[in-house]
Every structure is written in structure tokens, then in C-alpha cells.
Amino acid sequence: METGNGSCKLLNGFNPVKDSSPTRAELFDVIDRMRSPPKKFKLSPIQNWDPRLEPDLIVYNAVLNACVQQKQWEGAFWVLQQLKEKNIRPTNTTYGLVMEVMLVCGKYNLVYEFFNKVEKTLIPGALNYKVLINALWREGKIDEAVMAVKGMESRGIVGSASLYYDLARCLCSGGRCKEALLQVEKICKVANKPLVVTYTGLIQTCIDNGSMENAKYIFDEMCKYCSPNNVTCNIMLKSYTEHGMFEDAKDLLENILSGRIRIKVESSQKAIADKFTFNTFMEACAEAKRWNDFEYAFRKMLSSGYHFDERRHLRMVLDAYRNGKEQLLEDVWDYMCQYGRVPPAPMIMERFCLKLRQGDTVAAMSCINTFQESKIRNVSSMSWFNLLNRNGDRLKEDIIIKLLHELNNLVSSSGHSDSLYQNIISSCTEFLSVSTSVEKASSDQQMLPCTS
């Protein structure tokens, strides 16, 4: 039997810790190949050596790792049976892996049984306690998890950073945030990851359990010791907006933009609003119809170097425009022209109508003439009519008549029919016809004698 390095070589570089770990079936195949004699290998009559190999504890632990990934609790029992038959004594690491298999399979009673077995035959390690705490956490046994860690520490066992982190999240899930923050000091002593990762994880746990009050409490405590990074700020911002805490979201955005959220150790580093930050806040503004705040955030987004995204921003910009933010539409138009971009067809149509409302038929014609080779050519006459009809109470009849006259002259002078102009002419004609009919009906109604 070859042990140690020989077994590792046969695993051919498999790393059971990473997501690319071999499956249980692949490792069984490795074991079968170890036990099979080489096909092109012959021993002389005087040699008494068996080239076949038996897997050692390293291989069996790798199988257990694969069982964790594949959630195969039957494979864990197969490994234990193999170890018993080969008279290989499991270590606390082996039992820890078995416990992990039972944890991911939801067999918490077996987690406790194997932990008790380790206590009776071996000294439990940090891995055993980590899995135990996670099982207790999933069953809502928070007090038991706390007692388990105290028992571990009384034995002189130093817990890993992930163990204390899991305990802290366990406490957060039960609303015991102050106790959870006491674990941060222990995490700092053994952790390699930045402290911001720990705080962010605790915040996310509170959010997942529906307690924004606790998430905000930890976030405020976090700001006293280490500044949140972009990820933390975006998590809080999105959660504020999803829980109707708009003012908190607004304050957070302002703190980010003003640079008040900085890394304490290095004051030159600070959280920066990114595209996700702006999109999250602007979508919340649009949903709440906070158009002043939307305009502020949108302009800040552009000034920060992020571009107008038609897919995400067009609807919100047009909604803001229809709710009184006409200058915003003009500025977005100028912005797109500055960067040589063709405005989307809905934006061209809205600006066309805006210029008509302002009585400027020349500017209205310029909107469509400048980009007449764009998708605006595909807009039907009915869509143009709906646009005019939607703005009918703010459009003067004489302006539409003037536009119609200019369009007819343009078509006549060009000597050929243009579908874009023809569609607009058709919509204007229908709009004037409907307006005349409505006015006549209203006049006839007023002329009818009153009856008692």
C-alpha cells in the first residue's frame, strides 16, 4: 500500500476544496484503477511484489469532499465502511467531512451523532465545531451554538475565523446583533480577510432575515471601525429602497457622493458611487415618483462618467419628462448628440411634440430631419396620432396646421413620397379632423335648449 504522496499523484491534481472537485464517481474510478494491476507490467518469477495499490486516508477524505459537493450521504457511509474494513482509523478531520456531508443533506441528527462520536474517541477540532454550529444554526438552536463555542474554548481549542463568523451570523439571524459584534474581535485575531467582509456578511444575514433595523445598526457600528466599501454601500442602498426607506437611501447616496464614507486607515480611499448605485437609486425614485431626486441622481451619474443606457434609463427619463422635467429631456438630447449617438425613436417623438407645444415647428421638423434614417422611419401613423392625441390639450390647432403645411411643401419640393413624412401628415390630418369633430359636438351641445 502506498500512502501520502503516491495517493496524491493518483488523484492527478484533483483539489477537493475547489468547485472543480472530482465527483464521487470519478474518485471511485481512481480507486478501481489503483486496485487493478497494470496491463503492460509483468513480474519475473523470482519477484514477490504486488504493484496494486490500496487507497489511503487522503483518498478517502477526497471522496468525502466530493460527497459534500454532490450531497451524497450514502457515499459517506461507504467511506466509513471501507475504513473499517481496511483497519484505517478516521481522524477528526475525516469525521468533520462526514459531518459536513450530513449538514448539506439536512441530516442534523447525524451531525450531532458523529460529533458525539468524535468527543468519545478523539479531540474535536475547529472543523467539527464549525459544522456543529452550522447545524444548530439551521435548526434555530442559537443558545446551543453559543454553548458549543464556549465548550470549545474551555478545551483550549482556537476557533477559525469562519467558525466565529458563522456564530456571529447565527446570532444575527436571531436578532442578537450586539452579541454578534462581540465575535468580531475574535475574528480579527485569526482572520486574513478584511474586516469589511465580516461586517458585510453580518449585514446581509440581517437583511435575509427581514430585519432592516438590525442591518442598519450593524452598518452604523461598522462605520465606527472600518468604512464600508462599494459592495457594502450597494447592499444597504438596495435594501433601503426595497424596504421603503427612501430617505435613508437618499442620505446614504449623498454620503457616498460627498466622500463622507472613507477608509479610516487610508483617508484618500473612499467608497465611490458606481453604475449599480445610481441605477438602484434612480429606479427607486421612479417607482416613488420622486422626480427631483431622480433628476439629481441622473445628472450625477452622467457627471461621474457613466453613460445613458437606453435599455435601463429611457423609460425613466421619459416618465420624468412627462412629469414636468422638460429640461432633463433637452439635456439628454444634447448629451447624446455631443457623443454622436442617435436618440431612441420614443425620445425623438417626445422632443418633436415638445417643440410643437412650444410653437416651434422648425425645431420640431429638425428633430425628425436630423435622424430620419434611424428607427423613427418605422413608426406608424397611428403611433404619431396617439402622440399628438396624448398631448392634445397642450397643442394649438394653428401650430399643427402650420406643421402640416410645411410637411406638404417639403414632400412636394422633393418630388417623391417619403413614408416618414407621409405618416406624420396622416396623423396630423386625423388629429385635426378629430379636434374639429369634438369642437362641433361641444358647440351643438351648448345650442340645445334646456329641458326641465
Q: List pLDDT tens digits, range 339-388.
A: 999 999 999 999 999 999 999 999 999 999 888 777 888 899 999 999 99
Q: pLDDT under 70 in the chain at which residues? A: 1-54, 262-269, 415-417, 436-452
pLDDT of residue 40: 56
Question: By the 8 A CB rule, do 55 and 7 touch?
Answer: yes
pLDDT of residue 278: 97
Q: How far is Cα 142 from Cα 180, in angstroms, rounded to an integer?
A: 11
Question: By the 8 A CB rule, do 13 and 62 touch?
Answer: no
Question: By the 8 A CB rule, do 314 and 347 touch?
Answer: yes
pLDDT of residue 327: 96
Residue 451 cell numbers, joined: 329641458
Q: What's the chain's Rg over C-alpha atoms?
A: 36
Question: By the 8 A CB rule, do 313 and 325 touch?
Answer: no
> What backbone phi and psi angles, to 5 degrees, belong to 262?
-125, 160
Give tens-digit pLDDT for 82-120: 899 889 999 999 999 999 999 999 999 999 999 999 999
pLDDT of residue 124: 93
pLDDT of residue 107: 96
Question: By the 8 A CB rule, do 339 and 302 touch?
Answer: no
CA of residue 212 relative to chain centroid, distance: 18
Residue 196 cell numbers, joined: 469589511
> What backbone phi and psi angles, to 5 degrees, belong to 216?
-65, -35
H-helix or E-strand containing 212? helix 212-225
pLDDT of residue 32: 59
Q: How far is Cα 328 from Cα 351, in angstroms, rounded to an integer?
A: 11
pTM given for the model: 0.79
Cell 457616498 locates to: 256
